[in-house]
Structure 1
Amino acid sequence: MKNNTDHIAIIGGGIIGLGIGWQLVRRGAKVTIFEKGEIGKEASWVAGGMLAPYAEAGFEEIKLMRFGEQSLQMYPRLLDELSEDTDEVPVLDTCGTLMAGIDRDDTEKLKRLYEFRKELALDVKLLTGTEAREREPLLSPNVVSGLWLPDDAQIDNRKLLKAMKRGFEQLGGTVMEQTKVEEVDIKRETVMSVITEEETYAVDQVVVAAGCWSQQLDGIPDQQLPPIRPEKGQIITMEKTADCPLKGIIRSPRMYLVPKEDGTIRLGATAEEKGFDKRPTAGPQKELLEHGWEMIPSIYELPLVETVAGLRPAGKDHRPIIGESDISGLYYATGHYRHGIMLMPLTVYALVDEILEGEVSDWLTPFRPQRFNANE
């Protein structure tokens, strides 16, 4: 059954909110994105842009891995559609992931990861140090083992954010930056409006895509708020030079290095429980550089472009929260944790179908907001 969608408000202008808004206006909806700061400049900006469901698959996260796998397969469709609406769309880089180890502990961990992926029938190869350096000659001579996952990919997430914003606005979507939603007005368990510091906006549907700030909206009953906390992550951006022509994603148990379209290399990322403090700090940045250097020594001479920190939206179970809540017209698309760029396409297409058509995708079943309800 189709829903009343005369005006849809999206709270949060990161990769998830932008993607949902863009697809909604593509299908004829009137959409306003409310962003408390600048569009796309929170966690979505401070990300490596890795689309790596196979490298990131955890032992207890098979459903999440399959969700990421399906989402990665939807990227070509999404980029084709975005190219119809705007220019300067990023390229999907199907570079694979090379995981590397420098000691016995690293090697044992890579062996466990290899066995787990073989059990899942994934395309994976365990490498010696020599074989790993054949794939990436920049690797340190101290690398003694590796794991090759050819089906992972990556994208320039910052270029993608800019393109999505252009596409959304060119199709008639409204962006309200520096506009914090203070309250969602709910009457008789139905969304009525969103309230900012300056004005009240009548709406038919609200999508909360505010990352780790999703729990801070007044008006929503406490039991309906998503259990989200911030996790601080710091990254370093370096200029890619002829001395370090990195080809693809390099990961170790302690860091990742990713070359981007714009001629930079991103080194990340920390995981810190620091509340809402987004300031880069010396110690974690020093450790990141050391961990990067031990794998790719030639980063030593690279010019630094940026040091920055962001806040990942971490749910109670580290899985995303997607779908309509028990409040009519109130939807969540939040809690994507480390995987927002990777999980965006499937989140967007599935939730837009739910908002416009009332169709609930089986893909979203494990990630519904109702899993946190009492006694469920």
Structure 2
Amino acid sequence: MHAVVVGAGIIGLATAWRLKTSGWSVTIVDPDPAGGASRAAAGMLAPASEVVWGQTPLYPLLIASARLYPTFVEQLATASGHDLGYARSETLVCASDAADLQSLRELCALQTALGLTVEVITGTEARTLEPALAPGVAAAVRLEGDHSIDPRRVMSALMVLLAGSIVRHRVATLISDGGRTGGVSLANGQNMVADQVVVCAGAETALIEGMPELPVRRVWGDVVRLAVPERLRPIVSRTIRGFVRGRPVYLVPRPDGSLVLGASVREDGVDGISAGGVHQLLRDIERVVPGVLECEISEVMARARPGSPDDVPLIVRVDDGCVVSTGYFRHGILLAPLGAQLTADLTTGEPGDADMLRAVAPSRFAHVTPTGDS
């Protein structure tokens, strides 16, 4: 059996690898493999600190995928021989001042209600763990189960295992015969026939002709990468997340000593880097880890992420020959093991987890049927 996987972000690559290990032949089609939203991602594996009000259906997915991660990392690292930058160090969520402490308390109440393990510590205790935290940090929450990974290393490892299967072109159209997808047509005019087409094209999904309409919106994020001077290393040893006047900001250390700064979320239609977004990130992180302003900016990028109305993924079979897996919003890295498993199960006809598949089915929206037709 042969599957064409459209999209070489972390979801497409992980799904293709799972299909390949199940005995399928795979072809991955993407004009810029590993160059989309997954390349910009910080790689936080944060089922607890990603909890926010109003997203109850998302939490079981985040927790389930986090439990799959150690096995996913072990198998991928062993098969590829690559170090994936998997850091099991905890996450600290900090209140930048007394006013933000209320947001932190509300977050703790929600996390505790979900059965997650949290530990509230004072600002002084937080600075004992991370001396670079600002004097104004009023309190913090320790989340021992929130880890991180380097998405670029993960995708590099997957591309090694899928070498020879990646076609660097854009899919223009789904080829349909009698209502069943039977392949894809590339922008260069080439046609590819497949037993199954698996669309994991993220925010670009709707640009493919022949795709059913799905409720996916483009949500941009600006990300700054920083080189830390030797005299300051390490600025932090844990992932630091903060509330600054109600706004979230995060700082993720990499094994090479660099840092990833982010948390901007915008739907302004600006494809490029937002000057205001980057300014806000730097201003906010200064309130939490002021030493960051002594670092060198090595890279700034912006990418559009695919968001669904409730920020829960959309994974569905749209016809006998096509499965779609999109709508991961800012959770694509954490959800990669689970998303790849559910998508591959649909593709191969395996029973899969019925509860999980219901949770990600577009039919949860009253105006969308399982085939994506309004």
Normalised to the residue count of structure 2, the TM-score between the two structures is 0.92
1:1-20 to 2 correspondence within 5 Å? 6-20=1-15
Give the counterpart letter for 1:230 in structure 2: R
CA contact (8 A) 1:235 1:266 kept: yes
For residues 314-364 of structure 1, the C-alpha deviation after alignment (integer angstroms, 9 at most, x for no partner) is 112211011312x11211111100000000001112221232243132322
For residues 147-185 of structure 1, the C-alpha deviation after alignment (integer angstroms, 9 at most, x for no partner) is 11111110011111111111122xxx51011x1111101
SS in 1 for 2:222: strand
What is the rounded CA distance, in whole Å, between the counterparts of 1:201 and 1:159 in structure 2? Answer: 29
User: Which range is displaced more, 349-358 or 190-199?
Assistant: 349-358
Partner of 1:347: 339
Change (3 A) 1:315 1:93: same
Identity within the alignment, %: 30
CA contact (8 A) 1:138 1:244 kept: no
What is the rounded CA distance, in whole Å, between the counterparts of 1:268 and 1:240 in structure 2? Answer: 16
Long gaps (5+) in structure 2: 370-374
1:136 is displaced (CA, Å) by 1.4
From 188, 201, 220, give the equivalent of 1:232.
Answer: 220
Change (3 A) 1:28 1:304: same
1:375 is displaced (CA, Å) by 7.1
Partner of 2:150: 156
What is the rounded CA distance, in whole Å, between the counterparts of 1:86 and 1:148 in structure 2? Answer: 33
Partner of 1:181: 171
2:322 matches 1:330:
yes
What is the rounded CA distance, in whole Å, between the counterparts of 1:48 and 1:33 in structure 2? Answer: 24
SS in 1 for 2:224: strand
1:141 is displaced (CA, Å) by 0.5
What is the rounded CA distance, in whole Å, between the counterparts of 2:48 and 2:268 in structure 1? Answer: 29
Give the counterpart letter for 2:19 in structure 1: L
Normalised to the residue count of structure 1, the TM-score between the two structures is 0.92
For residues 183-227 of structure 1, the C-alpha deviation after alignment (integer angstroms, 9 at most, x for no partner) is 10122221112011221111111111111111121123xxx3221
1:231 is displaced (CA, Å) by 1.0
Count of residues in correspondence between the two structures: 361
CA contact (8 A) 1:89 1:159 kept: yes
What is the rounded CA distance, in whole Å, between the counterparts of 1:24 and 1:287 in structure 2? Answer: 42
1:114 is displaced (CA, Å) by 1.0
What is the rounded CA distance, in whole Å, between the counterparts of 2:85 and 2:272 in structure 1? Answer: 31
What is the rounded CA distance, in whole Å, between the counterparts of 1:132 and 1:97 in structure 2? Answer: 11
SS in 1 for 2:272: coil
What is the rounded CA distance, in whole Å, between the counterparts of 2:85 and 2:223 in structure 1? Answer: 22
What is the rounded CA distance, in whole Å, between the counterparts of 2:322 and 2:349 in structure 1? Answer: 15
CA contact (8 A) 2:224 2:300 kept: yes
What is the rounded CA distance, in whole Å, between the counterparts of 1:63 and 1:371 in structure 2? Answer: 11
SS in 2 for 1:74: helix
For residues 21-68 of structure 1, the C-alpha deviation after alignment (integer angstroms, 9 at most, x for no partner) is 1111122211111113x2111100111100001001122223312211
What is the rounded CA distance, in whole Å, between the counterparts of 1:106 and 1:289 in structure 2? Answer: 18
SS in 1 for 2:38: coil
Give the counterpart letter for 1:183 in structure 2: T
SS in 1 for 2:99: helix
Partner of 1:202: 193
CA contact (8 A) 1:214 1:225 kept: no
Change (3 A) 1:328 1:373: farther
